[in-house]
Chain A
Amino acid sequence: MQLLIQTVSLTKLYGVVLGLNDLTLNLPPGVHGLLGPNGAGKSTFLKLVMGLLKPTEGSIRVLGKRPWDNPRLLRLVGYCPEHDAFYHNLTGLEFVTVLARMGGFGRAEARRRAAEALGRVGAAEFMNRRIAGYSKGMRQRTRLAQALVHDPEFLVLDEPLSGLDPIGRHEIIELVRSLGSQGKSVLVSSHVLHEVQAVTDDFLLIYGGRLLASGNVHEIRSLMNQHPHQIKLRSAQAATLAHHLLRELPVTGIELDEKLQTLSVRTHDPQAFYAGLPLLVAGLGLPIDEVASDDDNLESVFKYLVGSDS
């Protein structure tokens, strides 16, 4: 199977500043999220994928090809940059058409494709107006359209949902999902966790220029079993409960907030903890008002991994 992206010890330095550090990755085709806070190295990675940057160390292959100044690869890839940049004197239709023409399409075909792509992202209504008068959401949709116009095999979307209203977000999420179901590969970057989770379960976590984790959210969960999980409990007898938890369950630490009557419990073995907790509270007759652990949620995975490695 042709890998979507293959990197070996990929490192990017900006002078002495580290952009990306020793990233080794074999990413199969499919829809993937690239997740990390601002400045984590997401855009650096995407620019390396698109051949806009050269690796300082290591190597990168996209669809089996070297990306730097490689027109053959660029025929297969569409890129939606994060920057809100345009030729403002053009209309949306002219902008997407001229970029389609650079992809080798004739005038009429380029215009037809541009109108179609703008329609797909919900920009048909305003595509004949000059970009200078567009709102942020309109510009974002137009940026997406230019990435789609040549019907690429692989789409690289850098923060594609930023600037969109909730309806726009929903439409673009649906669009990315439909591209995935059509067999297209997509790499979507975001620093907003639920955005990525809405698109895919497969993701790369990047932080401080390093790849923290990659895979399915559940695979990450098993990786996390080597590390303490955090579980929140609320009980009217929080102090007594804390005492028994420390003695009888696999707990590595507890923070007690007597005012709020909450416990924050850390455990290396969440399965054993969850199995033992009902027996413990039933045996002691302790009341528990709330147990909260959102370990299946991507956000908790992200917070945990970022927190532990930063």
Chain B
Amino acid sequence: MISVFVLHMRQMLADRRAAALLLFVALPLAVSLLLRFASDIQHETSREVSTGYLFMMYPQVMCELLALLYGSTLLGAELEAQTLGYLFTRPLARWRIVVAKYAATVATLIVPVSASLYFSWVAIGSPGDGARLLGGVWLGVVGSLVVYSSIFLLLGALIPARAMVLGLIYAMVEFALSFVPAVLNTFTVTYHLRTVVAHASGMEVQAELRGVLSGDSVPLAVLALALMACLGLAGACWTVSVREYLGTKAEGA
């Protein structure tokens, strides 16, 4: 499994893909720097606004997009390059290959995104009590990458050819549903991510925010996210274990 992990990490960091990843994580940092130099907003920004800004930039947008980009193509890229056959003919159960590739994806994404988040936080004036705000948003980064990667991985395992488009539609629908009160929003990743970030960063949750995040404790929200990640990953493992990916007639019988 470790060799699959290392191979996948190397492929993610190879050539143009690494450049694309760096460019991606540099974008929110550039926005934060612009904010810093374009105004003196950092001196007046409340904890709530800073948390909201960092949450939106990182766990909500960048992490979800990166998870979509890398999670949904985790199998599709190997299929397209016709290299999946090498992995599936090694003495490794398919679910192990999936888990190793998933873990490599999350681990590879967490490092540059965390660095970008840190520098963004510094750029906007290091708001919050010491590093508490930063820690809260970082938990959101980890949660977002872990959960969304597993969901998009599942989509990629089910429909490799259309995973990116379907993932994008899913992300938009899920975002909209996260604002629907009562029970529906509790089934969304975003809702629990907001809960984790708000509580962990020490944000004071106003009554009007109750519809978009939970009053539950951080552990409960983390548990909900962990359950979603496990379901996504287990679904992907099962799908890859039972589904044929190679040897279509188009490949040449």
Binding site for B on A (CB under 8 A): 14-15, 17, 19-20, 38-44, 47, 50-54, 69, 71-72, 74-75, 77, 79, 81-83, 85-87, 89-90, 98-99, 101-104, 146, 150, 209
* Chain B residues whose C-beta falls within 8 Å of the C-beta of A90 in the assembled complex: 10
Tell me the bound Cα distance from A44 to B14 in angstroms.
32
Across the interface, do B253 and A89 meet the contact criterion of CB distance under 8 Å?
Answer: no
Are A54 and B7 touching (Cβ within 8 A)?
no
Flag whether B6 is at the interface (Cβ < 8 A). Answer: yes
A42 to chain B: which residues have CB within 8 Å? 253
By the criterion CB–CB under 8 Å, are A44 and B253 in contact? yes
Q: Give the residues in chain B near A17, CB-CB below 8 Å.
A: 249
B6 engages A52 (CB within 8 Å): no
B34 within 8 A of A: no
A15, A51, A69 — most chain B CB neighbours (10 Å): A69
18 residue pairs of the A-B complex, CB under 8 angstroms, read A15-B249, A17-B249, A19-B247, A19-B249, A38-B252, A50-B89, A51-B89, A52-B89, A74-B89, A75-B91, A86-B83, A98-B6, A98-B7, A101-B2, A102-B3, A102-B87, A102-B90, A103-B90
The reply to whether B253 and A39 form a contact with Cβ atoms under 8 Å apart is: yes
Closest residue on chain A to residue B252 by CB atoms? A43
Given A38-B252, A39-B252, A89-B15, A69-B93 contact (CB < 8 Å):
yes
Contact residues in A for B45 (Cβ distance below 8 Å): none
Pick from A15, A87, A101: contact of B11, CB below 8 A: A87
A69 near B247: Cβ-Cβ < 8 Å: no
CA distance in complex: A69, B246 (Å):
13
Partner of A89, one of B11, B87, B91: B11
Shortest Cβ gap from A21 to chain B (Å): 11
Complexed CA–CA distance, A38 and B88 (Å) = 24
B91 with A103: CB separation less than 8 A:
yes
Contact status B81-A85, CB under 8 Å:
yes
Chain B's closest residue to A80 (CB) is: B89
**Which of B4, B94, B247, B251 is A102 in contact with, Cβ under 8 Å?**
B4
Apart from A71-B91, A82-B252, A209-B253, list 4 A-B contacts with CB within 8 A: A54-B244, A89-B14, A98-B6, A102-B91
**Which residue of the partner chain B has the closest CB to A100?**
B3
| Contact indicator per residue, chain B 68-88, by CB within 8 Å of chain A (1) or not (0) | 000000000000011101111
What's the Cα separation between A74 and B91 when bound, in Å? 5
Q: Is the CB of A79 within 8 A of B85?
A: yes
* Cα-based distance from A89 to B81 in the complex (angstroms): 13
Chain B residues contacting A72 (CB-CB under 8 Å) are 91
B86 cross-chain contacts in A, Cβ below 8 A: 81, 85, 99, 146
Give every chain A residue within 8 A of B4 (Cβ-Cβ): 102
Distance from A22 Cβ to chain B, minimum over Cβ atoms (Å): 15
Q: Which partner residue on chain A sits nearest B97 by CB separation? A: A102
- Chain A: CB-nearest residue to B240: A69
Say how far A35's CB is from chain B's closest CB, in angstroms.
15
Residue of B nearest to A104 (CB): B91
Name which residue of chain B comes closest to A76, CB basis: B91
Tell whether, in the assembled complex, residue A53 and residue B15 are in contact, meaning their CB atoms are under 8 Å apart: no
Contact of A79 among B7, B89, B251 (CB under 8 A): B89
* Cα A20 to Cα B253 with chains together (Å): 9
> Is B39 an interface position by the 8 A CB rule?
no
- Minimum CB–CB distance from A174 to chain B (whole Å) comes to 25
- Establish whether residues A52 and B85, one from each chain, have CB atoms under 8 Å apart when the complex forms: yes
Which residues of chain B are within 8 angstroms of A101 by Cβ–Cβ distance?
A: 2-3
A166 and B7 CA atoms in complex are apart in Å by 34
Chain B residues lying within 8 Å of A19, measured Cβ to Cβ, are: 247, 249, 253
Nearest residue, chain B, Cβ from A71: B91
CB-CB < 8 A to A74: which residues of B?
Answer: 89-92
By the criterion CB–CB under 8 Å, are B247 and A44 in contact? yes
The answer to whether A14 and B85 touch across the interface, beta carbons within 8 angstroms, is: no
Q: Is B241 an interface residue (CB 8 A)?
A: yes
Query: Is B206 in contact with chain A by the CB < 8 A criterion?
Result: no
Measured between alpha carbons, how far is A43 from B93 in the docked complex, in Å? Answer: 22
